[in-house]
Structure 1
Amino acid sequence: MAELKDVVSSEHDENVQSIDISDVGPNLKKLDTVDPEISYHVTSKTYLVLLVMGLAWSTCTLGNIGPSTTYTYCVTELGGKTKESWIPNAGLFPLIGLQPIWGSLADRFGKKWFIVAGGLFGIVGNVVAGTAKNIETVIGGQALNGIGSSLLLLVIPASMEIVTAETRAYAQGCTGLFNGVMAIVGLLTAGAFAKISISGWRWVYYFDAIFYGVSALLVMIVYNPPPTLLRCENSIDSQIRSVDYFGILLLLCGVVGIITSLTWGGNAYPWTSAQVLAMLILGGFLLMGFGLYEAYGRADGLIDHRFLESRNLLVILSVAFVDGMLLYGVNAFFPVEASAIFTGDPVKVNAYLLPLNILVLLGITASSMILGKTKHYRITLATSVFLIALFLGLLALVTPSRVAMTLVFTGFIGFGVGVTTVIPVVIMSYSVPPYIIGTAGTILASTRALGGTVGITIFSSIYANQMSKNLPTGVAKAVVTAGLPTASVSQFLGALLNSVGEVTAVPGVSPEIIGTAVIAIKNISAQSFRYVWITNMVIGLVTTFLCLFLQPVRDKMTVHIESALEDGKFRKKQLQHDF
């Protein structure tokens, strides 16, 4: 990455006394006056912090990939099949409901110790899950891991603050590349651990615990930012009073209702059951109440009205929601499809995701360079989302014999994902006042995770409906054609699909008939996934259209720096609260 060298402001005409948080914006403009006498040079100190932040971000990625790709092995050992969907979803509760809260608090009190606390939560959560004797304990550990990740992800907005505004794309590219590399490591290690033994899934959690601990320790050592602007200009009492407690309560209760209903639906209870409908309706009303309260009840709440000074924020949030549906959808369902139609080897299944993850690195590099150099992004973002949509749709062509085609398609999807990893986050930072980047960034991440949860639920329902409709009849037709007596079909299907009795004990069965049934299952699985990928494609095309409404940000890509880490006059003034 090229050296980041910019000129920043350091001269101000007057000292600012304690003021209300809503009045901070006008005073911030004093920081944007360029003084040619003073240069802000980024050295190895800042580069090191960016790498550590990349490690922390990648730790959250490991915490998501490992359990999500190995929880079926956990259920095999501990039981609790009806509760297995809670293992990945327990970590999503905090990511959706808590991140905006941490962002709001961190903008007021500073991000460092929130990030360190996230590492500690992650250590405890992974140890609890890794040593669990029952599925409920694993779910509890995953909830703690989710809290840890929701705190640790504050490194993303923090990385935007320690470089100048015009070089944020490079900072996001640096941390994103580190995260992308570790995602590949996580895929391979998770598969390898799962293959070791029936308890190999436990080592996924132990492995993650190490990274949470190392990340927290390194952040504590190398990341020493000056106090935030809000912390400098307001007393602790006024900051505590300014927290949007009622908005937080509405958001948390609404998220709990929605996620619980989506997790229960089709698993613990039917979608039409009173339990699912009650939680869904309650959660929906609470989130609607949250939106109305933030719009009309409070101007400086979690959804600060200064966010709406540019239409970019609402458009970016819409893009993030749908992008989350696409990203979480492909990460959740492609491994399932690969294991269903290609191989049951967990290492090979995760290896099939390598083209996607390797091309993510290229997308991150290209998008950060394009945005940083040209200061334009709309066409790049729209094109990348279109690529994701196109190749998700083309995955509908996948069959058990088309492995190479599959890897090419997922590679192009990965390139698009790399672009959407960088551009929305950076553009969001230009769409809000710089002293509340943390709140905006965490709302973006929360929206993306919520989109992912909704998407996975929709896609799961589509796949399950197609399989339940086509699998029994499709397999029956195939085995009868292969020579199985019609009278034996019911017993054969019960043994093969529901593990009722031994397949080999069915009258008239032969190895050839069993092989025919296995091939039929693979083909029907591939056909069922077609509807998932086509739905993803349609959603992606809608997102492409939304991207066209984004506004330019060139005038926001200035030499302003929010949190100077390098020693010098500007950092000295920030440390002395000379705003």
Structure 2
Amino acid sequence: MSTVEGHRQEKTTEGTLVHVSDSTGHAPPLPEQGEDDGSAQNTTYEKLPLSYYLTPQFLGTFLARSHILSGVPAFGITCNAGYFGWTLASNSLTAINEELGPSDSYLWISLSYTLTAAVACLLFGRLSDIFGRRWFTIGGNIVALVGAIAGATAQSIGAMIVSNVLLGFSQPVQLSYATVLPELVPFKYRGLTNAYALAVTIPGAAFGPVIAKALISHTHATWRWSYYIHIIVTSVGLLLIVVFYFPPKFSMLQGNRKRWNVVKTLDVGGMLLFIGGMVVFLIGLSWGGGAYPWRSAHVIATIVCGFLTLVALVVYEAYMPKHPLIPLSLLRNRQFLLFLVAGCSGGMIYYSMGIMWPLIVSELFTTDLVTQGWLAMSSSGGNTLGNVLCGLFYVMFRRIKWQLLIATIGMTAFIGAMASTTQYSQTKSIVISIIGTIFAGFVEGIPTISVPYTTNAEDIGLAVGVFQSIRVCAGSIAIDVYTSILSSRTASLEAKNIPKAALGAGLPASSLQSLLQALAAGSPAALATVPGMNPAIEAAVAAAQKSSFSGAVKIVFLVTIAFGSLGILATLFLQEIDHLFTDQVARKLYNPIKRKTEDSAAEAMEKAVVIQEENRVG
């Protein structure tokens, strides 16, 4: 049974019985059901024969979600499509703006993706818990396909923004491995599904920067190939989902209840408050320090209004709806909240690498596009490796609290050590970034795997959706903090270092203003026209720019230590969840052909009983 009747439900002959887990987040045992009871719901590992795991539905679902297509090495179908949809595009923004712009609006390409993804995470999780995941999954991938086609054929920045709105809205569906796959396997093996899903996303997740730069440099269609790849991968994944993915459908989740009756109980007010508050808040954050100064009315008003709307959402959920979008029992679940804080902390630190490392590579180490892609892979590849190892260690060693604590300490230490980065530390910085992002992969992966353990099967989508939405919001806050520090600190250091370096190298004092204007223009030709300029002065100015940038980078990475400390503190209060690693299976797929045959047989049997009873009475 599903979730509209409250945070915890199970089917009874009279209707539904609401029961809530305790404040520690230890969910009550799931009711055991037989393999052939027709519910396609909770059962145990022993009650599912080996043949179940070899059915086309099970194998096809894993293939569609995160598998290797025969003959195509390591293409993680829809999950890989989700990574391709953003990793390639985000590494091509400059090239996109150069071809379709230039326009300041190109920044909305990434912003629109983040906004819609943050909103869609919760909506997909909650609604698919209630109505079943199959058609939401199919619909989400169709939206992704349309978005990829729009991106591949775009002739303006506006069209690219529309494309990324669609891709962002479909992102929670394409990256729903944390919701869909764990519920299909025994509790004790859930970590393996995440390791498995992420291992085969390596082409998009780890090699994305390299592929994007290579496509720009070596193909006629340049950045458009990023979207062509997305179209190909999504099409294959969508086909596999349509053919093989048959999770519990509405009638299995809701019994005899009618769809329209369930629709009428949805918390529309909560949805509107959530969407409005999240979108306005994130827009305000994105404007700050970029489109408008942080002290401007535009920024302050949107951030305050968005935040107050989200506060109003919590109050509304507590008192108004009978069936809330986000039950307060989830927000009172201590284990869930601690995993949420730890996951947000890890995300906020990892975003520092996601934003800063590509800039460090291009500003301090190399100007060659393909080389930039390879060096940037040390961060994305390290994080992917950490995610994969995390899933394996999760099952092999257990003791989840201590794994997360060690990983959070390691991540905080090594990412913080990136503060030592300069233009002369390329090898050292690469090694530190790899180790730090491997730990970050653990800190990202462990809470993601653990959140489903804090709730019952009927609310897995809800819990994961809330977790992902809040983590996206926390990541946006971190990005704005980092970029604001970077821009302001770089400007202040350049104002001090560049004049000193230029004059020390022999630039006439009368040419200093011309030099600063040429640097602001960003044109090598303008720099060459500065009176008294020579190669030695140019080299001194370039070195001063790099020193200023590395000085700003130092402050950014020192700030990450504060976020990491918050994660360490949250982890210390976690309780172990090893006792939840049982043989129970939350959901099982069904065979639509067999199900239809059984339904027809049951209907015929009912008619026969009715006829027999009528004949007896007659």
TM-score normalised by length of structure 2: 0.84
Mapped to 1, the partners of 2:596 and 2:318 lie a distance apart of 38
Change (3 A) 1:299 1:177: farther
Change (3 A) 1:338 1:20: same
1:165 aligns with 2:187: yes
Deviations 1:180-214, CA, capped at 9 Å, x for gaps: 44312322211112223796222222222222222
Mapped to 2, the partners of 1:227 and 1:236 lie a distance apart of 12
Mapped to 2, the partners of 1:357 and 1:288 lie a distance apart of 35
Instruction: Quote how far apart the aligned CAs of 1:372 are.
Output: 1.5
Change (3 A) 1:409 1:148: same
Question: In the alignment, which of 279, 290, 293 is matched to residue 267 of structure 1?
Answer: 290
Change (3 A) 1:42 1:340: farther
Change (3 A) 1:413 1:52: farther
Change (3 A) 1:409 1:523: same
Alignment of 1:120-519 (within 5 A): 120-196=142-218, 200-227=222-249, 230-232=253-255, 234-298=257-321, 300-307=323-330, 310-499=333-522, 502-519=526-543
Instruction: Quote how far apart the aligned CAs of 1:308 are.
Output: 5.0
Q: Provide the residue aligned with 1:534 in structure 2.
A: 558
Mapped to 1, the partners of 2:485 and 2:12 lie a distance apart of 58
Change (3 A) 1:175 1:402: same
TM-align CA RMSD: 2.9
For 2:588, what is the secondary structure of its paired residue? coil
Instruction: Quote how far apart the aligned CAs of 1:336 are.
Output: 1.2
Mapped to 2, the partners of 1:34 and 1:472 lie a distance apart of 67
Question: In the alignment, which of 573, 576, 579 is matched to residue 549 of structure 1?
Answer: 573
Q: Provide the residue aligned with 1:29 in structure 2.
A: 31
Mapped to 2, the partners of 1:141 and 1:292 lie a distance apart of 35
For 1:91, what is the secondary structure of its paired residue? helix
Mapped to 1, the partners of 2:366 and 2:47 lie a distance apart of 64
Q: Provide the residue aligned with 1:118 in structure 2.
A: 140
Larger Rg computed on CA atoms: 2
CA contact (8 A) 2:124 2:136 kept: yes
| Letter matched to residue 53 of structure 1 | R
Q: Provide the residue aligned with 1:563 in structure 2.
A: 587
Deviations 1:8-48, CA, capped at 9 Å, x for gaps: xxxxxx98447348469999524478696764666344355
Mapped to 1, the partners of 2:11 and 2:315 lie a distance apart of 37
1:43 aligns with 2:53: yes
For 2:31, what is the secondary structure of its paired residue? helix
Mapped to 1, the partners of 2:413 and 2:108 lie a distance apart of 31
CA contact (8 A) 1:466 1:528 kept: yes
Mapped to 1, the partners of 2:540 and 2:123 lie a distance apart of 54
| Letter matched to residue 117 of structure 2 | L
Question: In the alignment, which of 46, 50, 65 is matched to residue 53 of structure 1?
Answer: 65
Mapped to 2, the partners of 1:320 and 1:383 lie a distance apart of 14
| Letter matched to residue 528 of structure 1 | A
Mapped to 1, the partners of 2:52 and 2:597 lie a distance apart of 17
Change (3 A) 1:43 1:150: closer
CA contact (8 A) 2:206 2:384 kept: no
Mapped to 2, the partners of 1:562 and 1:526 lie a distance apart of 50
Runs of 4+ in 1 over 4 A off after TM superposition: 20-28, 32-42, 570-576
Q: Provide the residue aligned with 1:9 in structure 2.
A: none
Mapped to 2, the partners of 1:104 and 1:465 lie a distance apart of 41
Question: In the alignment, which of 111, 118, 125 is matched to residue 96 of structure 1?
Answer: 118
| Letter matched to residue 476 of structure 1 | P
Mapped to 1, the partners of 2:426 and 2:46 lie a distance apart of 58
Instruction: Quote how far apart the aligned CAs of 1:323 are.
Output: 2.1
Worse-superposed segment, 203-212 or 462-471: 203-212
Worse-superposed segment, 240-249 or 126-135: 126-135
Deviations 1:493-537, CA, capped at 9 Å, x for gaps: 211232476211111111221122112211211111111111112
CA contact (8 A) 1:20 1:234 kept: no
| Letter matched to residue 217 of structure 1 | L
Question: In the alignment, which of 522, 527, 548 is matched to residue 524 of structure 1?
Answer: 548
CA contact (8 A) 1:66 1:204 kept: yes
CA contact (8 A) 1:57 1:156 kept: no
Worse-superposed segment, 28-37 or 139-148: 28-37
Mapped to 1, the partners of 2:351 and 2:438 lie a distance apart of 15
| Letter matched to residue 506 of structure 1 | V
Instruction: Quote how far apart the aligned CAs of 1:437 are.
Output: 0.5
Mapped to 2, the partners of 1:561 and 1:37 lie a distance apart of 10
For 2:498, what is the secondary structure of its paired residue? helix
Mapped to 2, the partners of 1:575 and 1:301 lie a distance apart of 34
Q: Provide the residue aligned with 1:8 in structure 2.
A: none
Extract unaligned runs of 5+ from structure 2: 1-9, 22-27, 34-41, 67-75, 603-618
Mapped to 2, the partners of 1:300 and 1:560 lie a distance apart of 28
| Letter matched to residue 563 of structure 2 | I
Extract unaligned runs of 5+ from structure 1: 1-13
Worse-superposed segment, 199-208 or 312-321: 199-208
| Letter matched to residue 122 of structure 2 | P
CA contact (8 A) 1:126 1:208 kept: yes
| Letter matched to residue 493 of structure 1 | L
Mapped to 2, the partners of 1:514 and 1:35 lie a distance apart of 69
Instruction: Quote how far apart the aligned CAs of 1:306 are.
Output: 4.3
Q: Provide the residue aligned with 2:612 in structure 1.
A: none
Mapped to 1, the partners of 2:310 and 2:565 lie a distance apart of 27
For 2:585, what is the secondary structure of its paired residue? coil
CA contact (8 A) 1:73 1:198 kept: no
User: How many residue pairs get matched?
Assistant: 563
Instruction: Quote how far apart the aligned CAs of 1:222 are.
Output: 2.2
1:76 aligns with 2:107: no
Deviations 1:383-402, CA, capped at 9 Å, x for gaps: 11211111111111111111
Mapped to 1, the partners of 2:327 and 2:508 lie a distance apart of 69
Worse-superposed segment, 178-187 or 263-272: 178-187
Instruction: Quote how far apart the aligned CAs of 1:550 are.
Output: 1.4
